[in-house]
Amino acid sequence: MVEMEEKLTKHMEEQIKRGYLKLAILYMLLEGPSHGYQIIKKIRDITSDLLTPTVGSVYPALKELETKGLIKGEWQQQKRKIKVYEITNKGREVFKQIIEKHFNVASTIRKWVLKQLAPIQFVENGEAVPTLMQAVKIILLDENVTTEEKIEALKNFKDRLQRLNKAIDKLVMNIDKRIRSLEKKTES
């Protein structure tokens, strides 16, 4: 049974990674034109190897994104002939829409989770996660933001993550208290 659960978990993780690959490609191309190998390296670097795309996964994704008009590729002669990709205006719009939908889904899940955690007295000010989402949106989506503003958003993001970490620690303590309380009831 455990082996089957592990296989299912691994399968689900792979599906999630595949789903994020195209989004990661679009994100990389927001920074500027790149060829396939650069895209693979950048995705690995920026995700700390959480996503480890291969040639066999990236090039079909690039082809699909190009077919849909989200990116365009142009052959260039460098040391050898390579195809350099850049994001199109349509690709930028689709990226923004996907990120917005992702944050809406994340917000809905967050509300549901907090409602489920209410019985164990998880206290949160209600603003931490939305503010985190706003910071990520600024960093990812707002092309008119200066580098200094992005740095400030990242510093604020880091600060809020540290506060969120403290809130999670408090949640873990409350869960432990709740477990002990329930265990005492079952012993009685």
> What pLDDT score was predicted for residue 63?
96
Q: Are 61 and 20 in contact (CB under 8 A)?
A: no
Mean pLDDT of the chain: 80
CB neighbour class for 66 (10 Å; exposed up to 12, middle 13-18, buried from 19): middle
**11-31 burial code (b ≥16 CB/10 A, e <16):** eeeeeebeebbbbbbbbbbbe
Tell me the C-alpha distance between 26 and 87, whole Å: 7
Tell me the C-alpha distance between 158 and 156, whole Å: 5
Tokens representing 145 are 């933001």
DSSP reduced 3-state for 49: coil
Residues 96-134 have pLDDT tens digits of 999 888 888 877 877 777 676 665 554 444 444 555 566
Residue range 2-87, CATH number: 1.10.10.10
Residues of the chain with pLDDT under 70: 1-2, 8, 11-18, 114, 116-143, 188
Tell me the C-alpha distance between 43 and 24, whole Å: 7
DSSP reduced 3-state for 75: strand
Q: Where are the domains of the chain?
A: 2-87, 92-187
Tell me the C-alpha distance between 72 and 74, whole Å: 7
With a threshold of 0.85, does the pTM exceed it?
no
